[in-house]
Amino acid sequence: MSTRKRRKKKNAERPLTANNNPVCNSAPLLDMSGRGANGNHVVMSAKMSGPIPAPSILRQYGEIIPGLDTTIIEEWKAEGASRRKNEEKELEIREDAVKKHATREFLKVCIVGVFFAGIFMLAFYLAYLGHVVEAAAVASTPVIGSVITKLLPKN
């Protein structure tokens, strides 16, 4: 006889069958009556994910109510087409809003640029005529206004 002790295999290495399951020691786990081998009721559930059920379940719907399986598929197609149409409309609305905003900002920049150019042209003209103090006052007005605008809190 060997004095070595045999190591037990880990549970993960052994396949789990009905015979070595501590909960159910008999071979049949479920009979046709919906009862387990020990006589208790067995509840089975299935989880689906996705827009439509599995083909076998869809076929069963068609057996219960004739034509329901095709109705489900048609409704799924119609819903998808409607969703894509709405997403395209939303995208168009957003693109239009971005274009309008960009146009407004461009016009603001142009108007401000023309205003500043006019002010500085007036300041240069006043300096040319010899009115240096007035030219400095006119030229500094938009700069001071810009600084004050940046410093004021936005509402």
Render pLDDT for 10-59 as a digit per residue (tens, 0 to 9): 444 444 444 444 444 444 444 455 555 666 666 667 677 777 888 888 88
CB under 8 A, 24+ apart: contacts of 133-138 = none
Of the listed ranges 63-72, 75-84, 142-151, the least confidently predicted one is 142-151
Q: Say if residue 140's pLDDT is above 60.
A: yes
What is the rounded average pLDDT of the residues 117-137?
92
CA atoms within 13 A on the CB side of 148: 6
CA 53 to chain centre: 24
Q: Is 69 exposed, middle or buried (0-12, 13-18, 19+ CB in 10 A)?
A: buried
- Per the model's pLDDT, the better-predicted residue between 73 and 31 turns out to be 73
Point out which residues pair with 49 in neighbouring strands.
none
Distance of CA 83 to the CA centre of its chain: 14
Q: Which whole number is the average pLDDT over 73-79?
A: 92
Question: What global pTM score does this model have?
Answer: 0.43
Q: What percent of the chain has pLDDT over 70?
A: 70
The gap from C-alpha 127 to its chain's centroid, in whole angstroms, comes to 60
* pLDDT confidence band for 9 (50 / 70 / 90): very low
Question: Structure tokens of 23?
Answer: 């909960």
Token duo for residue 108: 């603001």
Q: Quickly count: other Cβ atoms within 10 Å of residue 60's Cβ.
A: 13
Where is pLDDT greater, at 149 or 88?
A: 88
Please, are residues 69 and 61 in contact by the beta-carbon 8 Å criterion? yes
